[in-house]
Structure 1
Amino acid sequence: MLSQLVYVSNRKPNCTQEEISKILESCKKNNPPLDITGILLYSKKKFIQLVEGESKVITGLYDKIKTDPRHSEVRMISLSPIKQKSFPSWHMGSKELPKEKVNFNTDITKEDETIFNNILGGKEENGERVLNMLKKFF
């Protein structure tokens, strides 16, 4: 079953920009044969990742992700079946979030700001709202 998984975690201080590059290179190498796509948003302190693919494959990947020493407090926000991928050609799109105010590619309402802060805190569980919010970065 085609599914989408979103998690948030705390980036450890020793996870350098070089480590982020290694993560993205690994995704570009390993994800195509598994038919995994998605996006990674990251800041100096947080990761938000959305992965799409067959349910068993992405839950297995999530089990590996949880043990990665470059982050901590990994919290799944949502795992939902989907009819089609939202990022079908991106084996792992990425964007660094600024340490100051986050700039969205579309207008943001007060409600959107609340949803985004809930995502960062691992408190937003509505997969559709999470997806709609993450799409605003791309």
Structure 2
Amino acid sequence: MLSQLVYVSKRKTNCTEEEIEKILDSCKKNNPPLDITGILLYSDTKFIQLVEGESKTIMSLYDKIKGDSRHENCIMISLSPIKEKTFPSWHMGSKKLKNGGVSYDTEISTEHQRIFTRIMEGKQEEGEKVLKTLQKFFLN
């Protein structure tokens, strides 16, 4: 079953910008054969990642992600079945968030701001709301 998983984690201080590049390079290499797509939002202190693919495949990937030493306190925000991928050609799109808060470079409603804050705090939200909020960073 095609699914979408979103998690948030705390970025460790040992995770440099070079390490972020290694993560993204690994995604470009490893995700296409697994038919995994998604996005990675990151700041100096947080990661938010959305991955899409077959449920068993993304759960296996999530187990590996949880063991990565570049972050800690990995919290699954949502896991939802989907009819089609939101980011079908992005083996891992990425965007760095500014520290000390989020700069919304697009129009974002007060409701989406509230949801994004809850995501950053590791509080679970309904999958469709999480997706629509994360899309604001990439699709507008």
Partner secondary structure for residue 131 of structure 2: helix
Once the two structures are TM-superposed, the CA of residue 107 in structure 1 deviates from its matched residue by: 1.2
Residue 46 of structure 2: aligned partner: 46
Greater Cα shift, 83-92 or 99-108: 99-108
Partner secondary structure for residue 108 of structure 2: coil
8 Å CA contact 2:39–2:49 kept in 1: the answer is: yes
Once the two structures are TM-superposed, the CA of residue 101 in structure 1 deviates from its matched residue by: 4.0
| 1:86-125 equivalence runs, <5 A | 86-125=86-125
TM-align CA RMSD: 1.0
CA distance in 2, matches of 1:50, 1:90: 11
Residue 85 of structure 2: aligned partner: 85
Q: Which runs of 5+ in 2 are unaligned?
A: none
Identity %: 70
Once the two structures are TM-superposed, the CA of residue 30 in structure 1 deviates from its matched residue by: 0.1
Once the two structures are TM-superposed, the CA of residue 110 in structure 1 deviates from its matched residue by: 2.1
Large movers: runs of 4+ above 4 Å? none
8 Å CA contact 1:105–1:136 kept in 2: the answer is: no
The one-letter code sitting in structure 1 at the alignment partner of 2:35 is: D
Residue 60 of structure 2: aligned partner: 60
Residue 130 of structure 2: aligned partner: 130
8 Å CA contact 1:115–1:129 kept in 2: the answer is: yes
Residue 22 of structure 1: aligned partner: 22
String of CA shifts for 1:43-101, please: whole Å, max 9, x gaps. 00000000000000000000000000000000000111000000000000000001144
8 Å CA contact 2:76–2:124 kept in 1: the answer is: no
Partner secondary structure for residue 98 of structure 1: coil
Once the two structures are TM-superposed, the CA of residue 109 in structure 1 deviates from its matched residue by: 2.3
8 Å CA contact 2:115–2:125 kept in 1: the answer is: no
Once the two structures are TM-superposed, the CA of residue 114 in structure 1 deviates from its matched residue by: 1.1
In the superposition, the TM-score normalised over structure 1's length comes to 0.97
Once the two structures are TM-superposed, the CA of residue 35 in structure 1 deviates from its matched residue by: 0.2
